[in-house]
Structure 1
Amino acid sequence: MMRSLFSGVSGMQNHQTRMDVIGNNISNVNTTGFKRGRVNFQDLLSQQMSGAARPTDELGGVNPKEVGLGMNIASIDTIHTQGSLQTTGVQTDIAIQGNGFFVVKSGEKTYFTRAGNFGVDNEGTLVNPANGMRVQGWMAQDVDGQRILNTSAQTEDLIIPIGQKIEAKATTNVDYACNLDKRIPEIPEGASQADILTSTWETTFDIYDSFGDRHDLRVLFTRVPGTQNQWQGTVLVDQRFGDAPETRVGMGTTDGTENNFIIDFDNNGMLAGVTDTAGNGSAETGNISVMVSYNVVGASPDADGNPVRQTFNLNLGNIGDVKNTVTQFAASSSTKAYSQDGNAMGYLENFKINQSGIITGVYSNGTNRTIGQIAMASFSNQGGLEKAGENTYVESNNSGVANIGVSGIAGKGKMVAGALEMSNVDLTDQLTDMIITQRGFQASSKTIQTSDTMLDTVLNLKR
C-alpha cells in the first residue's frame, strides 16, 4: 500500500514538470525562432513478487508478478520542426527555411540561433540588437580586381559600411554581341549601290576613365564595299564633343595608329577574325577583341611629356560561336555593347541579402558589389543542443560539432530575407496536453488520497 503512495507522488511531481514545460511553450508562442519542448514519461523500477516459470510436461508457463513503483521523466526533447515564416519587410530580418542555425558570437563564445531579427550597429556590424551578439560569416576580399568569398576560412564579424565610398574604376573591357544584317537592302530610287554598301550601323555606350569620368563610346559598323562578309568597325571616344581625345585601335597589346578595324565572318554567319589597319590579325580560335586607347583628359603627362592614354578591350565574342558574339545573319542589325566593367566613384546606399546569405551592396553609382556572406551551422544531432537563453543554443557532448558553411549545402536550408521564423508552438496541441497533464496530476493525487483512506481503515481495525 505504501508503494501506491510513492507512485502517486512520482506521478504528481513529474506531471508538474510536464506542466512547467507546457507553460514555457505557451509563454513563448510568439517568440521568434522558438522551438517547443516535449516531455516523455517512462515507468520506474518494478518490484518482483515472483518470477516467471517455464512450461513443464504437466503445466504451462507462469508469467512474472511485478508491482510498479511509479514513473519518471524519460526525456525532455526540443522539437526542431519548421516554424511558419512571417514577412516583415525589414531587410536585416532573415529566416531559415529548413535545417540550420545562424552563428553569433559574444566575445570568443560561439552561440547558435534560429532567430534572425538582426540589425546594424553604429559601426556597421550586423548584430542581434537585443543582446549585441555579432553575426558571423565571411567578408569579401579584392583579389585581382574580383570580389572573392573564401567560405573555407574562419568566420568573422560581418560589417556593412553604409555610406562608405568605393573608388572609381577605369573601364578595361567592353563586351559586344548580337547581329549585323547580312542582307543588302533594295536600292531606293536615286541611290547608288555604293550608298547601300556603305550603310552604317551605329552603337553608343558609356565608359569610364581612371578618374571615374564618363566618356561616350561610339562604334560604327560599316559594310566594306565589294565584299560579302566583311565589316569595318570605327571606334570614337567623345567625338560628339569638339575637343575629343585621340582614339586608336590595335590588336592584342599593340597600340594602333588609326581607329578602324575589319571584322571577317564565315559563310555560316559566324565570327571568323579581326584585322587592324596595320594588318595585325587575330588568332584563329578563341575570344576576339581589339585594344582601344584614348587620351585621358585632365591627366598629368607622363615622364616624357606625353599624354596619358587609357586602354580597354573591345570584345566581339568567340570565333564560330553564337552566344554573346557578333554574328552576320540575314536578320535586322542589333549589335550593341551589353556590359563594361568600369564605374564612377560611389557610396553604399543600400544592401540586399539573397537565399544563400550573400550580402550585396547597392552603390550610388549604379553598381552592385558583394560585401560578405552569412554563415550557417548544422549538427548531427540538433536535439542534443543545450539552450543558453536569449533564443540561443550551445554545443553539447551529444549534439556533435558544428558544421559551419554556406546555406543550401550539406543539408542546410536556405535563407529568406525580409522574414522571420515564428515559434513552432501549436496552441491547440499545447492546451490539449495541458488538459491531459492536469488529469494525470489529479489522478495521481487521487491515488494518494485513496491509499491514505485505505491506511486509515487499517488503523481503525483495532477500534
Structure 2
Amino acid sequence: MLRSMYAGISGMKNFQTKLDVIGNNIANVNTVGYKKGRITFQDLLSQTSSGAMAPTGNRGGVNPVQVGLGSQIGTIDTLHTQGFRQTTNHPLDLQIEGDGYFVLQTPNGRAYTRAGNFNLDQDNNLVSADGYYVLDSNGQQITINNATSISIEKNGSIIITNDQNQPENIGTIGLAVFSNPSGLEKIGGNLYLESTNSGAPNLTNPEENTAGSLISGALEMSNVDLAEEFTEMITAQRGFQANTRIITTSDEILQELVNLKR
C-alpha cells in the first residue's frame, strides 16, 4: 500500500483532535476562569532510503534521503493567560490580576481555581459555586459571622462591618502560585489539581510572590478569542480536507495499478 495513504490517515486523525480542542474552547467561551487549550503537531517517523555521507578528498558530502510517514500530536497545552474582566458588583465575586489561584478544600483534598464566584453557606463559610470551602493564606476555612457589610481589598484582606458598626479585619484570602501552571491537571468544574510537573503550590497572600491582586465585584472570564478560534477552525477544516484528498488520490493510483492487469 502507498505510504501517502497512511500519512493522510494520520493527518485526518490529528486535525480531528484539533477540531475537538477548538470545539471545547468555543463551548467554554463564557465559562468563568476557563483557560483555553492549544494543540501542536510533530512529524512522525521518517523512512530513510540512504544516509548522509561526509565529504571526502575528491567528493562533497551527501544529505540523507528520507520520506516522512505522517504526523502526530506533539502537545495539547493549556494557556494560562489573563482572561477578560466582567464587572458584577457582587462583593464576593473576585478576580485575580496575576498568576495566583484560589485554594479550595474539596472532599478529595485541595483543588485550585481561577473562578472567583463565591458565596456564603448556611454556616457563613465562604464557599465556591460547588460548595467547596475557600481557604485563607494559612490554609484555613474562612467564616464570616455577624457582618452587616463585607469588602475585600486588593491584598486579600476581608473587612467586615460587625454588629457594633465597627470595621474588622477577619482574615486574608489565600492564593497558590505554581512554578509551571501549564502542568496543572484539569478535573472539570473549573478546578485544577497539582501534578508531578506543575510544581508544589506556594500558598501566599495576594500581591506577594507574583500571585497578583484581587478585584472585588468582578469575575475573570474565559481567555478564549472567538475570532482566533474560528480562524483555527477553518485551518483545521481545510487541513482535514487536504488529507482526505491525499487518500482519494492514493486510491486512484492503486486503482490504476489494479487495472494494469486487464
TM-score tier, shorter chain, comes to over 0.9
Comparing both chains, which one has the higher relative contact order based on Cα–Cα distances under 8 Å and sequence gaps of 6 or more?
2
- Quote the residue 1:160 is aligned against: 144
Task: Output aligned runs, 1:347-362, within 5 Å.
Answer: 348-362=147-161
Q: Distance in 1 between matches of 2:223 and 2:150?
A: 30
Count how many residue pairs are aligned between Structure 1 and Structure 2. 262
Letter in 1 for 2:250: S
- Quote the residue 1:449 is aligned against: 248
Q: Distance in 2 between matches of 1:391 and 1:45?
A: 37
Q: Distance in 1 between matches of 2:19 and 2:107?
A: 36
Letter in 2 for 1:413: G
- Quote the residue 2:85 is aligned against: 85
SS in 1 for 2:224: coil
Task: Output aligned runs, 1:94-133, within 5 Å.
Answer: 94-129=94-129, 131-133=130-132
- Quote the residue 1:58 is aligned against: 58
What 5-or-longer segments of structure 1 have no aligned partner? 138-150, 165-347
Q: Distance in 2 between matches of 1:364 and 1:55?
A: 89
With structure 2 as the length reference, what TM-score do the two structures score?
0.98
Task: Output aligned runs, 1:198-347, within 5 Å.
Answer: none
Q: Deviations over 1:65-93 (max 9, x none)?
A: 00101000000000000011111000110
Q: Given the alignment of the two structures, is residue 72 of structure 1 paired with residue 72 of structure 2, yes or no?
A: yes
- Quote the residue 1:134 is aligned against: 133
SS in 2 for 1:156: coil
SS in 2 for 1:15: helix
Letter in 2 for 1:132: G
Letter in 1 for 2:135: Q
- After superposing on structure 2, the runs of 4+ consecutive aligned residues of structure 1 that deviate more than 3 Å are none
Q: CA deviation at 1:366?
A: 3.0
What 5-or-longer segments of structure 2 have no aligned partner? none
SS in 1 for 2:135: strand
Structure with the bigger percentage of strand: 1
- Quote the residue 1:374 is aligned against: 173
SS in 2 for 1:104: strand
Q: CA deviation at 1:107?
A: 2.4
SS in 1 for 2:260: helix
Q: Distance in 1 between matches of 2:75 and 2:170?
A: 44
- Quote the residue 2:8 is aligned against: 8
- Quote the residue 1:433 is aligned against: 232
SS in 1 for 2:47: strand
Q: CA deviation at 1:363?
A: 2.4
Q: CA deviation at 1:156?
A: 1.1
Residues 102-111 or 359-368, more deviating: 359-368
Q: CA deviation at 1:108?
A: 4.9
SS in 2 for 1:462: coil
With structure 1 as the length reference, what TM-score do the two structures score?
0.56
State the identity as a percent.
Answer: 48
Letter in 1 for 2:85: L
Larger radius of gyration: 1
Letter in 2 for 1:388: I
Q: CA deviation at 1:440?
A: 0.7
Q: Distance in 1 between matches of 2:152 and 2:108?
A: 26
- Quote the residue 1:37 is aligned against: 37
Q: CA deviation at 1:408?
A: 1.1
Letter in 2 for 1:17: T
